[in-house]
A and B are shown apart, each in its own frame.
Chain A
Amino acid sequence: MYNVALQYVQNKEDAEEITQDVFIKVYDKHLEFKGDSALKTWIYRITINTSLDYIKAKTRKKRAAFYHRDDEALQYISDFNHPGVALENKEAMAALFKAINLLPEKQRTVLLLLKVEGLSQKEIAEILKKSPKAIESIFQRAKANLKKIRANAEGL
């Protein structure tokens, strides 16, 4: 849970907050869990949705803070602080995540689950309620878009 959230927000404090929210949601909704899917899949789904909602809320806050020139709120909005990244890769990884964060939600999710979490296409297909073929196609689109975004950023 914590590690999945970390890939989305790339920040220790935010990932901790998301993990807390996920635990509360699992606690609240455990009676609604019908066992149609594996518990792991269900928890992954909750974590992904909570992370995406958190990012949306944070973006709204960020916009409001810029608009109102609220320095205190802006200071609170934290930067890249991923504890799982090796020091020598930190700069490259920050640039990579900057591009990943611009990808559409589904493409970002597939890329992170496949490459960072190391899940199989079948497992991701179950989590996102799609076919493994669709996941492969989303992954290919994610890779192509990532290339484009990075090329634009580098001015190529």
Chain B
Amino acid sequence: MKQKTSNNYMERPEDLLTTIKKVQPDSQLYTAIKQRIKNRELEATPWNFLRIAAILCGLLLCAEAYVISSSTVDEMTDEIALVSVNSNTLYDDNE
């Protein structure tokens, strides 16, 4: 009988796989997993805090850029006004 079974497995080796039994892992494995998850929580990057910090930095940069650009426009307007006054003086018909 045993010989017959063995011959069967020779012909259809994949059937031997069906004899494998399910096993339970050691309880220590669950303890190790719990510990790894705990360590991971401690090591986790505080993404929420980083996101808020990034948004604040972005807002500050925008505000600074706005202040710089608005003051540059004012200066440019003044310069244009000056040049136009000078040019009028240069081409004054009365001279």
Are chains A and B native binding partners rather than an unrelated pairing?
yes
A85 close to B (CB within 8 Å): yes
Interface size on A, residues (CB 8 A): 32
Q: Please determine whether B36 and A24 come into contact, CB atoms closer than 8 angstroms.
A: yes
Contact of B14 among A3, A15, A28, A146 (CB under 8 A): A146
- In the complex, what residue of chain B is closest to A3 when comparing beta carbons? B22
| Residues of A contacting B17 in the complex (Cβ-Cβ under 8 angstroms) | 96, 111-112, 115-116
B21 close to A (CB within 8 Å): yes
Query: Which residues from 14 to 29 on chain B have a C-beta closer than 8 Å to any C-beta of chain A?
Result: 14-26, 29
CB distance from A4 to the nearest CB of B (A): 10
Interface size of B as a range: 20 to 34
Q: Please determine whether B33 and A20 come into contact, CB atoms closer than 8 angstroms.
A: yes
A86 close to B (CB within 8 Å): yes
B58 close to A (CB within 8 Å): no
- Is the contact region of chain A dominated by helix, strand, or loop, or is it mixed? helix
Q: Please determine whether A23 and B21 come into contact, CB atoms closer than 8 angstroms.
A: no
Q: Please determine whether A150 and B13 come into contact, CB atoms closer than 8 angstroms.
A: yes
A143 close to B (CB within 8 Å): yes
Given A16-B25, A16-B26, A24-B37, A116:B20 Cβ within 8 A = yes
CB distance from A79 to the nearest CB of B (A): 17
Q: What's the Cα separation between A84 and B23 when bound, in Å?
A: 6
Given A16-B29, A20-B36, A115:B18 Cβ within 8 A = yes
**Chain A positions near chain B (C-beta within 8 angstroms):** 2-3, 6-7, 15-16, 19-20, 23-24, 27-28, 82-86, 89, 92-93, 96, 99, 111-112, 115-116, 118, 142-143, 146-147, 150
**Chain B positions near chain A (C-beta within 8 angstroms):** 6, 9, 13-26, 29, 32-33, 36-37, 40
